[in-house]
Amino acid sequence: MSSNFLQSLLDIIREKDLVQARVGADGLDRFPLLWHQQIKNAFPDFTLTDFGSELKSLRQYRSPEAIRLVKRSALLVDLAFQQGLKYIKPGKTEWEVIAGIDCVLKSHGVEKSFNIISQGPKTNGYAPSGKKLAKKGMIFVEITACYGGYWTQLARAVSLGKPSEDLVKLHRVSVEAIKNALPYLRPGFKVSKPMSVMEDHVKSMGFEATPIYGHIVGIDMVEDRPTPKNETEITPGMVFIVHPWPVLGRSSLLWGESYLITEKGNQRLNKTGDELIVL
């Protein structure tokens, strides 16, 4: 394993007899300009071209085995959330909550995870700390797991004690926004359509809409971002994490789950319900 990546790249081009080849790169706009110049100086007939869009299209396909792994990933995320609820108690630390959740994931074969938490009326997910959970209020957790190489996610909030009026309203509009968008989260539409429907519903109900609507996932946690401006065609095999993020005054809520695109529609991967859990 070399620490001089540019020299290693030059050596590979030479060893593989690629000095006159045309080679694709994922994200040429992020490829170091200095590297590009030095490669051209060393191999004037070598051509580097952007392969990002073609690669993205190839990675949207899911084999039956890949779909099995995606579904297993979502099942384990659900399990971690359900078992993690017992750690969400006043006096427990954020570390304890996330450690309990992550223990469930890792003990069932999850290779990588990205789990965040926040307390208070505004969803502001962050890495856990030693801060203790308050006696009352909203606790937000986002559980993201990679099983067999495939990512899924669940974003949920629970209320310690009676939920505030704002949280009840934010929860209701989040669930409604997702349900309104789902008929358009299918082949025959572009990504922009369901995301626009979701955003429009949030705004029509008098809320602000934080412009982070989820992820398109696969072997990376963020393969692409679903937004009202994303004109990518929705195709079978794509996996979406859909999570509206409405804002009401000083309160906000990020809420969502994972969906698999099928030939004729979509399949919800997470079985965790839509209810706002009160502990």
pLDDT in tens, 5-22: 889 989 999 999 999 999
Burial of 269 (0-12, 13-18, 19+ CB in 10 A): buried
Residues β-bridged to residue 160: 137
Burial of 252 (0-12, 13-18, 19+ CB in 10 A): buried
Residues 112-162: tens digit of each pLDDT: 999 999 999 999 999 999 999 999 999 999 999 999 999 999 999 999 999
The answer to which of 29-38, 63-72, 114-123, 187-196 has the lowest mean pLDDT is: 29-38
Binned at pLDDT 50, 70 and 90, residue 71 comes out as very high
Tokens representing residue 114 in the block: 């990205």
Please say if the pLDDT value at position 1 is more than 60.
no
Please say if the pLDDT value at position 187 is more than 70.
yes
The residue count of the chain comes to 279
Give CA–CA dist 18/46, Å, rounded: 7
Q: Which spans in 121-191 are helix H?
A: 165-181
Tokens representing residue 89 in the block: 């108690």
Domains of the chain: 5-58 (no CATH), 60-278 (3.90.230.10)
